[in-house]
Structure formats: structure tokens, C-alpha cells
Amino acid sequence: MKSIENILQTLIINGTLTEPPGLFNGKTGMAVFFFHYARLSGKEMFEEYALDLIEEVRKQITIMVPPRYDTGLAGIGVGFEYILQNNFMEADDDEIFEDFDARMYRNAMYEPYFDLSLERGLTGWGRYFIYRLRRNRKKQNKLHEALTHIANEITNKIAENTIPENEQPDVYRFFHDLTTLPIFSKKFLNSLQQCRKWKCISEPDVQKLFPYMEHLQRLYTFQNYFNMDLNEKIAQEWKNWEELKNNSLTDIGLLKGWTAEGLLHLIYSHNHDVSWISLL
């Protein structure tokens, strides 16, 4: 297990050198870590560093940034919403999200999507609108319209039985999250129930689903979405993680890199907030 000092030093150095702005692999995910660490440590300098990262990300948002969740606009927008919803910073909603909302709306309503996956496909776009609708806002009608369009598109594919098995877990999570919104709680409940009939959902395999996550992240995800008591497995995995030296870390990101290592360290050492795992 790397020390928090080592993690901080690595992330501070790489924060200014990391080019990608995205949630999974870049500055947005790093900002999430520094906001969490600032709150835990009470040190304002880390909050200021996180704000600097956010400002750099905003400068990088051009037409060339793709809409995808892992590296692009949808994930960056969700990262910003997560930061605001957890009161890590205050900001003018229109100033931050006006362009995000307009571009994501156009993509949802008019652009072709790659697949239904979270990382690069339609459920990733959907998660953007779910996060946006968790707060009251002026543009709720357009956000609602785009999210309804996405949900209908996926519901049609469920009815056609054309969703590949590897995309089914992300589709299930999409409808699980969608139905937590009061305005969608009943409308797409049947779609969620259809998802629960899939074998990979009704008989989930912790080792096989969400292979892109680290095992601890996967266990927490299963607890959140599958109503499984995995406390013993999580406790054992923390022991394994404590003994792991992680000398092989080559990535900086929130998914499997130094940022993830830092946030896991905060959970392990200080019983800190695990809510960031919901971003994965």
C-alpha cells in the first residue's frame, strides 16, 4: 500500500502534466480526489488545487471532446455535478452547464451512438442526464426530454431482445438509477423489471461483471445495485489491498490509477466517503 504522502506528491506533480480532461483518465477524476482530501484534511490548499484542475478542464472543453462517458463530455459533466451535489464547491449552474446541456441534448436527440455501454455508449449519455436532473434547475424540460428519448430507445431494444450480454449490466444500472428519479419512478419500472430477468442480473457473478473495475470498486458496486451483503468479502479484499504494494501503477486515473489509489486510501485509513465509486 502506498502512503498518502506518496500519492499526493504523484498527483500534484502529474496534475499539471496530465493532458486528458476526462473523468476516468484525467483531470476531472483527479479533482474529485483533491476535493475529498481537502475536506478530510481541512487543508484549503488542496481545495484550491482541485479548483485549478476544474478550471483547466473547462478551458479544454472544445468541439473536439467526444460525448462519451469515460473520457469525454458526459463523464466530465457527471464529475462536475458530483462535485456540486456534494457541496465541494459553489458555481453558477448556467455558466458551467449551458454548453454541456446543449451538446449532450443534441447528441441524445440526433446523433448516432456507438453502443449501450456506460464507457462509450448510450447509458453513459443517460447517466449525464440522470445526474443533472437530481437537482432542480431551469432547463428541466429539455433534460427530461433527452433522458426520456434515451430510455425509450433502450426500452425498444429490450423488447427486441437485441442487447448483447456484455452491455446488459450497464443497461440494468441505467434503469436502476433512472427509477430513483421521482419523475421516472413508475414510467420505466417495467424496463427495470425486464432487466432483472436477464441471467447475468438475476444470477450475478462478481468475478465477471464490470471487468473494467478494480475488485474493491466492483464489490461496492454490487452492494449498491444488486442488494447483496458483501461485507465479509469487502473486509477480506481490504486486507488484500493493504498488502498490495501497487508498484505497477502506471495510470493516473480514477478507474485504476493513482487517483483511485488515493481515494481508496481515504476509505481505508479514515473510513471516508465511498460515494465516488458511484461515478464508475
pLDDT at res. 247: 64
Task: Establish if 219 belongs to a structural domain.
Answer: no
- For residue 3, count CB atoms less than 10 angstroms from its CB and return exposed for 0-12, middle for 13-18, buried for 19 or more: exposed
The span from the first CA to the last CA of the chain, in angstroms, equals 22
d(CA 92, CA 162): 41
Q: Which of 146, 6, 14 is nearest to 77 (CA)?
A: 146
Task: Establish if 137 belongs to a structural domain.
Answer: yes
Task: Establish if 245 belongs to a structural domain.
Answer: no
pLDDT at res. 217: 96
Number of domains in the chain: 1
Task: Establish if 135 belongs to a structural domain.
Answer: yes
Task: Establish if 221 belongs to a structural domain.
Answer: no
Residuewise pLDDT in 10s, the chain (280 residues): 678 999 999 999 988 788 999 999 999 999 999 999 999 999 999 999 999 999 999 999 998 899 999 999 999 999 999 999 999 999 888 889 999 999 999 999 999 999 999 999 999 999 999 999 998 655 689 999 999 999 999 999 999 999 999 999 999 999 999 999 999 999 999 999 999 999 999 999 999 999 999 999 999 999 999 989 999 999 999 999 888 766 677 789 999 999 999 999 999 998 889 999 999 9
Task: Establish if 160 belongs to a structural domain.
Answer: yes
Torsion 226-227-228-232 (CA) sign: positive
d(CA 213, CA 221): 9
Q: Which of 143, 154, 142 is nearest to 118 (CA)?
A: 154
- Domain span at residue 167 reads 91-203
User: In this structure, which long-range contacts are made by residues 148-154, counting pairs with CB atoms below 8 Å and at least 24 apart in sequence?
Assistant: 149/108, 149/109, 150/108, 150/122, 150/125, 150/126, 151/126, 151/175, 151/178, 151/184, 151/187, 151/188, 151/191, 153/122, 154/116, 154/122, 154/123, 154/126, 154/191
Task: Establish if 215 belongs to a structural domain.
Answer: no
Listed in sequence order, the residues at least 6 apart from 166 whose beta carbon sits closer than 8 Å to its beta carbon are 117
Q: Which of 118, 27, 43, 42 is nearest to 80 (CA)?
A: 27
Helix (H, G, I), strand (E, B) or coil at 231: helix
Task: Establish if 61 belongs to a structural domain.
Answer: no
- For residue 145, count CB atoms less than 10 angstroms from its CB and return exposed for 0-12, middle for 13-18, buried for 19 or more: middle
